[in-house]
Structure 1
Amino acid sequence: MSSDKFKLSHEDRIIWAQVARTVEAYPGKQVEADDWFAVEASVPPQPLPPETPSRRTHPVPGLKQPPKPRPHPIEKPVIRKLARGRLPIDGRIDLHGLTQSEAHNLLFGFLARAHERGLRHVLVITGKGASRGSDGVLKRLVPEWLGKPEFRFLISGYEDAARSHGGDGALYIRLRRERGNPK
């Protein structure tokens, strides 16, 4: 298989030689000296530019990102009961018009108090956030916050609310039960 598409350029061979020097063979395996590893770099490796706050890292296209941990979804029969009013919504909070930090702190405090009181289902209204061409900062961030460790011990799941409770601009959240509380 000595086709041209498998031949490396001089620069690629230099990079490969630098990488090959950094690895060790498995125990019991021998690495034969090859001219691949004997390539001398005519240009010293360039240091990476210093990390600046404005420089962002973007995911590489084609590479799978590890899945983000997400609480269990609320079962469809429970969502239907909440939507029709057959299962009570024990508490509600409206985050309209708040900044991200205000909304985060208020949401955490609300969920912590609701959990302490033994509430089971609450409604969080984030709003759709379609003003000024925005995609809704709180609508996007609240589900991310719910997946973070500080919220995970409070909630067992969340889903978008029914249209009668706000639709895409609200979430049903099921709180975890206390270990000793059979309610």
Structure 2
Amino acid sequence: MARRRLSSEEEALWSALARTVRPIRPSARAAASPTMAPLPIEPSVKTRLTPPPARIIAAPPARTPAAVLDTGWERRIRSGTISPDTSIDLHGHTLSTAHARLNQAIAAALSRDARVLLVVTGKPPKSAAANGNGGGAGRRGAIRGEIGHWLETSPYADRIASVRVAHPRHGGDGALYLILRRKK
């Protein structure tokens, strides 16, 4: 592919950007960049350059809960033979206290090397369209509505292998299994 020359406007923008960059190793700067006289930026060229952040550290990719577990786990969940190691009931709590208790329960389960945490949230709200209620049941199912976000932003999110609806014997739609990862 043939290289094209930069226009004077593009050269001005590039030189303005290049002035804001700090080299990782100062000695490499002199060898790597050819000396070029800075071009004046034309008044018609509007630039809005900000200095780069001091240092960007790439975080390891966050592990997210799996949609499907191996066949042994799937069979145990479907048949209801899974046995929760610990459980927490969030009924009757405000959103803030339920969130705090959920984080405490996950921390406690992880400290005891539990694999399955049963979280009872209550039944999800009936759909507003199905019952003709345009929002009259506004607060019903608030904890259930927020728990997905809480688990995603939890400090323990990388330790959750899967989140599944519980078997009817453990609460069905009103409860969730949190399948926790083993320690590394």
TM-score computed with the length of structure 2 as normaliser? 0.54
For residues 117 and 180 of structure 2, the distance between their equivalents in structure 1, rounded to whole angstroms, comes to: 8
Q: 2:132 aligns to what?
A: none
Q: 1:41 aligns to what?
A: 41
Contact 1:125–1:166 (8 Å) recurs in 2: no
**Structure 2 unaligned spans of 5+:** 51-59, 129-134
For residues 31 and 47 of structure 1, the distance between their equivalents in structure 2, rounded to whole angstroms, comes to: 20
Deviations 1:86-138 (A, max 9, x none): 22123333446755432221112223344556643222244646664999641
Q: 1:75 aligns to what?
A: 70
Displacement of 1:47 in angstroms is: 8.0
For residues 102 and 110 of structure 1, the distance between their equivalents in structure 2, rounded to whole angstroms, comes to: 12
Contact 2:165–2:175 (8 Å) recurs in 1: yes
Name the amino acid aligned to 1:161: V
Contact 1:74–1:174 (8 Å) recurs in 2: no
Q: 2:152 aligns to what?
A: 144
* Match runs of 1:23-172 below 5 Å: 23=21, 24=23, 26=28, 29-34=31-36, 38-43=38-43, 67-70=61-64, 74-95=69-90, 98-115=93-110, 119-126=114-121, 128=124, 132=135, 137-146=145-154, 148=155, 151=156, 155=159, 157-162=161-166, 164=168, 165-167=171-173, 170-172=175-177
Structure 1 pair 82–106 and aligned structure 2 pair: CA distance change class (3 A): same
Q: 1:59 aligns to what?
A: none
Paired positions, count: 152
What is the root-mean-square deviation in Å for CA atoms of aligned residues?
A: 4.4
TM-score computed with the length of structure 1 as normaliser? 0.54
Q: 1:56 aligns to what?
A: none
Q: 1:20 aligns to what?
A: 18
SS in 1 for 2:28: coil
The share of aligned pairs that are identical, in percent, is 26
For residues 122 and 30 of structure 1, the distance between their equivalents in structure 2, rounded to whole angstroms, comes to: 56
For residues 39 and 29 of structure 2, the distance between their equivalents in structure 1, rounded to whole angstroms, comes to: 25
Name the amino acid aligned to 1:40: P
Displacement of 1:141 in angstroms is: 0.9
The structure whose RCO (Cα within 8 Å, separation 6+) is larger is 2
